[in-house]
Structures are given as structure tokens and as C-alpha cells.
Amino acid sequence: MKGRYFAFHPGLCVLLIPLGAIAHKNGAPCARCPRNAHCTNASSCRCDPGFTSLSGKVIFSTSSEVCTDINECGPPLYMSCGSLAHCHNVEGSYYCECAPGHELLSGGTKFQSEKENTCQDVDECSSGKHQCHNTTHCINVKGSYKCYCHHDWVARSRPLHGLNFTICEDVPFPSWTSPSGVNSQSLSRFFDKVQQLSQDFKPALAKNTIQDLMQEIDELLEIPGDLETLAPSEQHCVATHLLVGLEDVLRVLSKLLPNGPLTTHAPAGTGLSLTVQDQGIGDVTLGQSQAKMQLKWDVAQESNDLGPSVVGLVSTPGTAKLLAEAPLVLDLQQQAVLREHKELLGEVSPVLLSDVVSAFVSNKDTQNLGSPVTFIFSHHSVTPGPTQKVFCVFWEHSQDGGGHWSTTGCRMAATGDASTTCECSHLSSFAVLMAHGHIQEDPVLAVITYVGLGLSLLCLLLAALTFLLCKAIQNTSTSLHLQLSICLFLAHLLFLTAIDQTKIKLLCTIIAGALHYLYLASFTWMLLDGLHLFLTARNLMVVNYSSVSRFMKRLMFPVGYGVPALIVAISAASRPSLYGTPTRCWLHTDKGFVWTFLGPVCTIFSINLAFFLMTFWIVKNKLSSLNRDVSTLQNTRMLTLKATAQLLILGCTWCLGVLQVGPAARVMAYLFTIINSLQGAFIFLVYCLLSQQVREQYGKWFRGVRKAKAEPENYTLSSGAVSDASKHSAAPDFCLPSSLSKYPKSGTYPCHQPLLGIG
């Protein structure tokens, strides 16, 4: 075996040597050489051209060696390709290529060394190798080309066949002319100036044009001239035309501005804040002196426009003059809320609390935004009354060119005395306004009011005639009741006939002042009546009526008519504009002005309530002290009945108006309306029908009337009453029940008019 093996081995070697030589000669890799290497002999390897071993050895014999690519274009070699060319490394080699916009004289672009470099500039414009749109002009530059727009054209980036191309657009000044059908010299002069701006317009001077335009519209709104004499419908049409036209012009011109913000303010308050961004991202906030707007850039960007995005906010406080009588239309949700609370909007035009601001963006489709826009308005401090509502509104255009305020798509996020935050799902012209409303009247309460006041008027008239013509009962007490009846009669009559006369402002102010005075006078006479009642009861222990009578005669007329006149005079001098509201000829609730009535009234019925309780206690004790047998059930009931009626006459039941809150509000409203509308009826009942002397006098009048019909003779109304009353002419204005005359104690208690109406 061994001999055979060695005998075979030399022969095999002879066969392998020629094969190794062939492999070396052809550069074929050996089985033991790594990748990118070849055999130099039977036991050694060498890296291929363009590669080098990691160990740095040129000849190596281990198969674990690695051959890596040599970067001929980098250090330390830096193969030079010459000017206008670049070196490109590839695995195991490299090549040179002309820079973009250049080519070899032969027309190729690749070569191997600097000696072969013949690179020169390529004229893409003349060769047709450019990609400029047909609306642009191609200009060759060294190594490239540029697409330029013609004079007064604007470049826009537009997608075309999947690529973005620069397209030139002619940007003329937007057409903005005077609205048809409106005859106004001020408006004509304004649009003449707009046309001049249009003729002189150059895109490069867009900023100057915008500033000049804001100045012109500011002057128009500051001094509208004959615009103020136009009918409200024409004023609304002009306002719509100005707001819409200004938005359209600014939207176009602002796209010509460079990136960044722009703010301009005119002397009369008209202002503009805008910002331009290429592909704006995130949120943007713009502000004017009285308003701030916050929105997302996504809202401003058109889906098919890769050009700059624009967001702008215009403040035009002067448009309030043209929108003073604009109506308000509530959306269905707001109407449902008002119906739920039984409230209605009044016919009076709403009042603007803030400046009118217009928002515009480069995107024209802003009717249904993906995210809401927030507006924060600053306005003068105001506290809405119970019948006033604050709304976030926008100016909605109508088909006839006019418009109205609307709440659709806007909601009030927060409100304070001097600021209101609104959120809207669309863009337009916005504002904050306060609408006057009224609580929907309960028809039953309305009927009770009119029937009760009508009955009171009749009873007050009969009572006044009785106090005036019935000589037998005329004294200090009846004088107080006569003045109270006259004041209440005039106040109720004016209330029924003129409380709603709000069309003429001056007339409504006079009516409100007259009602203020008459009702204050009525309550003042109620106070004097309560004081007289208390003084009379206090003097029951002594015969001291004459001093009470003299005191009241000196006091009652200066106080009864002078104090109300002083209160009304001071109120009218300090706040004359607060007499009369948009819905009623009464006192306004702003700045607490209504307390010029409520303050004295609350004070009077509180004092009268104290007088009544003290008087009731004195009389009750006096009745019991005279004879305990007198305090029978019948007399106690009569005392309670007439004391309750006296409580109503003194106006103490007006406190029910303060109790109209909470679950019992409806019940209290009915009680307040029924009791106080019948105050005149109670006066007639207590001081006339329940008075024995007055009933006797009525009987004599009726008998005289029947006798006059039977025998046509002259009849003197008071002839039969003089003899009956003469012996009581000096009697005090009070009396005890007639049954007490059977039980005299000491002294004399004569009687004319019963205390608390008892007699």
C-alpha cells in the first residue's frame, strides 16, 4: 500500500502542475482563496484588482483573509476626473461622469480619467431637454436652467402627471365694483379709488396696495356720508358687498406677499392681521385690538394647491353703523332652548357688543371646517338683564344681496363681563351681540292682570268719588285714601294703555318716567296711611286726635308728592337714557337702575308691615281690655278679615314679587298678580262698602235718585247727611266696634271712620 501510494503520488503531481499553471494563467480562483481574490501559485492568493486585503499583505496563504473594495474616489487616492465632472466609485473600479447639466463632446457622460474629460455645459432650453411649463419662459444657466414667469405673472407650484411643475398665472386685481341699485355718492367715490388701485396694481407692490385699500375702506366707514340716510335694507346690502368684496380682494393679494406676517392699522380702527406660510403646519393665532382668532393651518390649505397658505383677520368696527338694525335669526337648537325656558326674542334689533371681524384663508371652501375656529372678542363691560341674551353670530348673506345675523354653526364657549369666546365651524364675518327678549306671557296671568286692573280702575274711581263727595266722612284719613286712589288710578290706567308704546323713544321715556313717579307716589301715600294708622292706634289711650290730625295735614302733601318727585328727578338727571327698555316703557335693568324704584318700594312695605303689626297688636289688646266678653268669635273673625284687607292696602303684598324663585315661582306669580291687581278693589271694599256711614250715605243717594225719578224735584246730594253727621264733626278718624258703646269705661270714644275698617 505504502509503495503503491508513493508510486501514485508523483504521477498525480505531474498531472496537477499543468492545471495549476493554467488556473493561475487564467486568474481562476483557487478553492482555498477568499472572495475577490485569485491564486498566484498552488499555496498563495492575491486580491483582485480594485481590492485590498484587510491585513495589508499583497500575497497571503490563509483562506480567512478578506479582500475589500478600494475607494479610488476617496482618500488616500482621490482619482481626479477634471473640472465639471465627478468621480463615482464602484466595486473593484471607478468611473468619471460629467456634472449635471454637462456632457462630453462625444455626447456621452462617462469616462475613465482626466485625460478623457471633455465636459461642457448643455443648453437645455435650446435643446428641448427642459421641463418648464408652457406658461413659463426657459433661461439657460451654467449647468442647469430656470423657468421664469413673464412680467406681472405669478409662479405657482402645481401637480402635473405626478410631478410638481412651476406654472405661471396672471394675477389681475380682483373685480370689485359698486353694488347695483344703491345710489350713494360716498360709495361711488370709494369704488372710484378702488378702480384706481386696480389700474396701478403690480404684484411686486402687493403690500402697498393692501395698505392703501385698508386706508380707503377705513375712511369710508368712519365718515359714511349719505350711506347713513339709506334704508336699512340698502345699508345691509352695502355692508354685505363691502365685507365679501374685501375678503376676496385680500385673499388674492395676500398670496403675492412673501412668507411671514403682515399687520396694518388705520386711524379709525380698521385693521388687518395676516400671515403667509409655505405648507404651514400646526396652529396659527392672529389678533386685532378687540379680537383674536385661533385655527389650524390645515383649515387654510387647499387640497389641490401646493402654493403658500394664507390666514387673515380683518376688523371693521365701522360696519356697525350699517348693521345697526339688522335682524337676528336663531338656529333650531337655540330656538329649542328658548322655547324650553318659555322665552321669545323681542322685535327690537339686537345690539352689537363687539367689533365686526372677518376671517379669510387661501382655501375658499370654508363652509364646513374639519376643526372649529375659535374667536375671543373683547367688548365693553355689560351684564345681561333677565330678558337679554348674548349670542355668537355671523353675517349670513341672502340671495337679494342683503343679509342678517345668524347663530348657525357658532356657539358661545365662554362669556364674561368684558369678553366672549366663540367657536364656529365655518368662516365669515363674526361678532358678539346682545338680543333683547321677553318671557313668553302666561295667557292666564295676562287675563288676570287686565281683568284685575280693570276692576281696580272702576273701584278706585268709585272710591275717589266717594271720598270727594261724601262730606260725612271727610277727614285726614279719607284725604290720604283719596290721594292714594288718585295715584293708583292714574298709574294703573297708564300701565294698561301705554306700557307697550316703545316705537317712539321720547314718548316711551316720558311714559316710563310718569309710571315711575305715579307708582312711587302711590307707595308714599301707602306709607303715610300706615303711619297715620299707627299714630291713631297709639293715641287710643288718650283723646289726642287733634294733634295727630294737625301733624298729618302738615306732612302728607309735601311728603306724598314731593319725595317721589325728588327721587324721579335725581334718577332722570343721572341716567335719562335708562328710562324705557326696548320691550317696555319702564326702568332699565342696566347698572341697577331699576333699584331707584325697588329700593324705595322695599323700604316702604317693610316699614308698613311693622306699622301694621304694631297697630294690630295695640287694637287687639285694647279690645280685650275694654271688655273681655267683646272678644267673641264673630268680632275676632271680622277683625282678622279687615286687618288682612288693610295689609293688602298698605302694599305689603308686593313682597310676593321677591319670592318668585324656585319651584314656587309660578304659584307666587299668580298670587302676586291676583292680589296686587285687585288693590283698588280692596280699597273700595274696606273704606266704602264695609263702612256703615258710607253704606248709609249710598242708601240716601239711591233713595234720592229714586225720589227724583218719581217726583222731578231738585235734590241736593248731601242734604240728608249733614244733620246726621254734624254731631260727629270733630270726632277722630278711628272707632271701636259699635257694640263697645254699651260698655263705656272712662272718657269718650267718638267714631267716624273705623280703625282697620271695623264699624
Radius of gyration of the chain (CA): 51
Distance CA 754, CA 737 (A): 8
Closest by CA position to 179, among listed 236, 253, 218: 236
Residue 185 or 258, more confident: 185
- Assigned C-alpha cell, 93: 473600479
Inform me whether the pLDDT recorded for 325 exceeds 90: no
201 touches 209 (CB < 8 A): yes
Split at pLDDT 50, 70, 90, the class of 209 is very high
Inform me whether the pLDDT recorded for 335 exceeds 70: yes
Split at pLDDT 50, 70, 90, the class of 549 is low
AA letter at 426: H
Return the percentage of the chain with pLDDT > 70, whole number: 76
Max avg pLDDT among 26-35, 155-164, 354-363: 354-363
Which phi and psi (to 5°) does residue 644 adopt?
Answer: -65, -40
* H-type alpha helices, 255-393: 297-300, 332-340
Least confident of 36-40, 219-223, 384-388: 384-388
Distance CA 549, CA 475 (A): 8
Distance CA 512, CA 568 (A): 10
Least confident of 13-22, 74-83, 285-294, 593-602: 13-22
Which phi and psi (to 5°) does residue 554 adopt?
Answer: -70, -30
Residue-level pLDDT at 449: 84
SS3 per-residue string spanning 183-200: CCHHHHHHHHHHHHHHHC
Closest by CA position to 432, among listed 329, 367, 547, 351: 351
Question: Cell 277727614 belongs to which residue?
Answer: 475
* pLDDT (tens digit per residue) in 37-66: 888 888 889 999 989 998 888 888 888 889
426 touches 366 (CB < 8 A): yes
Pairing of strands 419-424, 373-378: antiparallel
What percent of the chain is helix, strand and coil (3-state, nearest 5)?
Answer: 45, 20, 35
Residue-level pLDDT at 15: 35
Split at pLDDT 50, 70, 90, the class of 371 is confident
Distance CA 111, CA 132 (A): 30
User: How large is the average pLDDT for residues 541-552?
Assistant: 60
Residue-level pLDDT at 190: 94
Residue-level pLDDT at 547: 64
Residue-level pLDDT at 727: 34
Distance CA 167, CA 134 (A): 8
* pLDDT (tens digit per residue) in 59-100: 888 888 899 998 888 887 778 898 889 999 998 889 999 988
Taking residue 37's Cβ as centre, other Cβ atoms within 10 Å add up to 21
554 touches 476 (CB < 8 A): no
* pLDDT (tens digit per residue) in 633-660: 455 555 555 556 666 666 666 766 666 6
| Residue partners of 556: CB distance under 8 A and separation at least 6 | 476, 479, 480, 483, 525, 528
Max avg pLDDT among 136-150, 248-262, 536-550, 715-729: 248-262
* pLDDT (tens digit per residue) in 556-579: 888 989 999 999 999 999 988 889
* pLDDT (tens digit per residue) in 474-523: 888 888 889 989 999 999 999 989 988 888 889 999 999 999 999 999 88
Residue-level pLDDT at 568: 94
Residue-level pLDDT at 286: 93
The helix-helix angle for 633-649 and 505-538 (nearest 10°) equals: 150
Eight-state DSSP code of residue 579: B
User: How large is the average pLDDT for residues 287-294?
Assistant: 90
481 touches 687 (CB < 8 A): yes
- Assigned C-alpha cell, 618: 295695640
**Mean per-residue pLDDT over the chain, rounded:** 78
Give the up-direction half-sphere exposure of residue 469: CA atoms within 13 A in the CB hemisphere.
14
Distance CA 316, CA 323 (A): 12
694 touches 470 (CB < 8 A): yes
Residue 681 or 14, more confident: 681
Max avg pLDDT among 112-116, 449-453, 561-565, 677-681: 561-565
258 touches 207 (CB < 8 A): no
Starting at the earlier edge strand, list the strands of the sheet with 283-287: 283-287, 291-296, 373-378, 419-424, 410-415
Cβ burial 9-20 (10 Å sphere, 16+ → b, else e) = eeeeeeeeeeee
Return the percentage of the chain with pLDDT > 90, whole number: 23
User: How large is the average pLDDT for residues 131-157?
Assistant: 75
Q: Determine if the pTM surpasses 0.95.
A: no
Least confident of 124-138, 139-153, 553-567, 595-609: 139-153
